[in-house]
C-alpha cells in the first residue's frame, strides 16, 4: 500500500512537470460553432508561444458561410508519450483531477489538459483567470464566466506536416473530421476523415476524403462520429493505406462504442490493417467512462521528467518502507 501511494505521488510529479513543459508548445485548435468568441466551427485557431494572453487568429481552414462544424484536426506530425486533450461541458473527470476542478466552475470545455497515470493537469487555460491550476491561456471565453462559453473540439500541438500532395507548396496538410450534421449534408458521414491543404486554399471545400468509415473499421451512415483524431499518414501520400494509423475518439452514442463496450472518453486505435481497439482507457487519462473526450494530440516527455519521477519514486518508497 505504501509503495502504491509513493508511486501515485511520483506519477503526479511527472504529470505536473509535463503540464508545465506542454506550455512551451503553440497549440492549434478549433472550437464549436456559435461560441461567444465568435469563431466559426470550421476555423483553425492558433496561439503564439508561450501562449500568454493571445488573441486567437484564423490561420488555416477558412470560416464558411455554410457553417461547417470541424470536429477533429490533426497535422500528421505527432511524437511523444504524453496525451493532451480537451473535453466537453458534460465531462467531470475523476475526483481530484484538473478536469474535475475545472468542471466545478463549468470551465472544462475551453481548457487543454495533459493526462496519464489516472490523472490529468491543466496545461492551457481557456481564459487564464486566476485559478490554482492555471496554465498558459488561450484567450477564450469559458462557460463558467460567459453563458454558452467556448468549447475546444479539435487540437494539434506540433503544426502541420507536408505530404506528397502538399510537398510542392511546402505549407503542410490538415486532416480533419466533420460533425455528422455537417458531413451528412454533403453526402459523407461523421466517421470520414478528410484532408485540406493549400491545394484548396485550406478550405473545407472541395472535400478531399483521406479515410472512410469502413477503412477505419467504423460504421458508416451516421452510426459513428469521430470527434478527436491523431493521424499518422506514415507513407505521406494523403490517402489511407495499410501502414497508416489513426488514434481517435467517438462521440457518445456512436454504435461502435456499444459494440466494443468502450466509451466516448476512451482513445481508440485503427492501424496496420486492424482495429479499432481501445488504445488508452478513459481512466488512464483521469476521466470517467461517462465523459466525452473531444480533442486529442500528444507531446513529448522530456527526459528529465522521467528521471525526476524515477528518483522521486525511489526516495519515497525507501522512506516509506524503511523500518526505522
pLDDT tens for the chain, 324 residues long, are 544 554 454 455 555 544 554 555 678 888 998 899 888 888 888 754 333 333 333 444 554 545 789 999 998 876 677 899 999 999 999 999 999 999 999 999 999 999 999 999 998 888 875 444 445 678 888 998 888 899 999 999 887 776 666 655 545 788 999 999 999 988 999 999 998 876 666 666 678 899 999 999 999 999 999 999 999 998 888 899 989 999 999 999 999 999 999 999 999 999 988 989 999 999 999 999 999 999 999 987 655 444 444 444 444 444 444 444
* Measured distance CA(161)–CA(232) in Å, rounded: 11
pTM listed for this prediction: 0.82
Q: What is the pLDDT of residue 207?
A: 82
Q: Residues 228, 115: contact at Cβ < 8 Å? A: no
User: What is the three-state SS of 254-316?
Assistant: CHHHHHHCCCCCCEEEEECCEEEEEEECCHHHCCCCCCCEEEEEEECCCHHHHHHHHHHHHHH
Torsion (CA) 110, 113, 119, 121 in degrees, nearest 10: -90
Q: On the CB side of 166, how many CA atoms lie within 13 Å of its CA?
A: 23
Size of the chain, expressed as the number of residues it contains? 324
Q: What is the pLDDT of residue 135?
A: 53
* Burial readout 29-58 (b: 16 or more C-beta within 10 A, e: otherwise): bbbbbebebebbbbbbbbbeeebeebebeb
* Measured distance CA(283)–CA(288) in Å, rounded: 6
**Strands, E assignment, 2-126:** 28-31, 45-46, 57-58, 70-74, 82-87, 112-116, 119-125
Q: Residues 227, 294: contact at Cβ < 8 Å? A: yes
Q: Which residues pair with 150 in a beta bridge?
A: none
8, containing H or E segment: helix 2-22
SS3 category, 243: coil
Q: What is the pLDDT of residue 130?
A: 46
* Measured distance CA(233)–CA(213) in Å, rounded: 16
* Measured distance CA(33)–CA(60) in Å, rounded: 16
Amino acid at each position: 500500500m505504501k509503495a502504491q501511494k509513493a508511486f501515485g505521488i511520483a506519477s503526479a510529479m511527472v504529470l505536473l512537470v509535463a503540464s508545465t513543459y506542454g506550455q512551451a508548445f503553440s497549440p492549434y485548435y478549433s472550437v464549436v460553432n456559435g461560441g461567444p468568441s465568435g469563431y466559426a466551427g470550421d476555423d483553425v485557431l492558433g496561439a503564439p508561444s508561450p501562449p500568454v494572453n493571445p488573441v486567437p487568429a484564423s490561420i488555416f481552414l477558412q470560416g464558411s458561410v455554410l457553417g461547417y462544424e470541424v470536429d477533429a484536426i490533426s497535422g500528421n506530425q505527432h511524437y511523444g508519450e504524453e496525451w493532451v486533450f480537451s473535453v466537453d461541458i458534460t465531462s467531470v473527470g475523476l475526483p481530484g483531477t484538473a478536469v474535475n476542478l475545472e468542471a466545478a466552475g463549468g470551465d472544462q470545455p475551453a481548457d487543454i489538459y495533459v493526462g496519464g497515470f489516472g490523472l490529468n493537469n491543466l496545461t492551457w487555460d481557456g481564459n487564464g483567470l486566476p485559478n490554482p491550476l492555471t496554465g498558459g491561456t488561450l484567450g477564450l471565453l469559458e462557460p463558467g464566466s460567459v453563458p454558452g462559453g467556448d468549447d475546444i473540439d479539435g487540437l494539434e500541438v506540433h503544426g502541420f506536416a507536408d505530404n506528397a500532395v502538399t510537398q510542392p507548396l511546402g505549407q503542410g496538410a490538415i486532416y480533419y473530421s466533420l460533425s455528422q450534421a455537417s458531413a451528412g449534408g454533403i453526402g459523407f458521414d461523421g466517421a470520414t476523415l478528410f484532408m485540406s491543404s493549400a491545394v484548396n486554399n485550406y478550405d473545407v471545400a472541395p472535400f478531399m476524403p483521406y479515410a472512410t468509415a469502413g477503412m477505419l473499421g467504423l460504421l458508416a451512415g451516421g452510426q459513428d462520429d469521430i470527434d478527436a483524431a491523431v493521424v499518422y499518414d506514415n507513407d505521406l501520400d494523403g490517402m489511407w493505406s495499410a501502414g497508416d494509423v489513426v488514434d481517435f475518439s467517438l462521440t457518445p452514442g456512436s454504435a461502435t462504442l456499444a459494440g466494443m463496450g468502450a466509451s466516448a472518453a476512451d482513445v481508440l486505435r485503427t492501424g496496420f490493417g486492424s482495429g479499432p481497439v481501445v488504445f488508452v482507457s478513459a481512466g488512464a487519462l483521469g476521466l470517467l467512462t461517462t465523459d466525452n473526450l473531444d480533442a486529442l494530440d500528444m507531446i513529448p516527455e522530456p527526459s528529465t521528467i522521467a528521471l525526476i519521477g524515477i528518483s522521486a519514486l525511489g526516495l519515497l518508497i525507501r522512506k516509506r518502507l524503511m523500518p526505522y
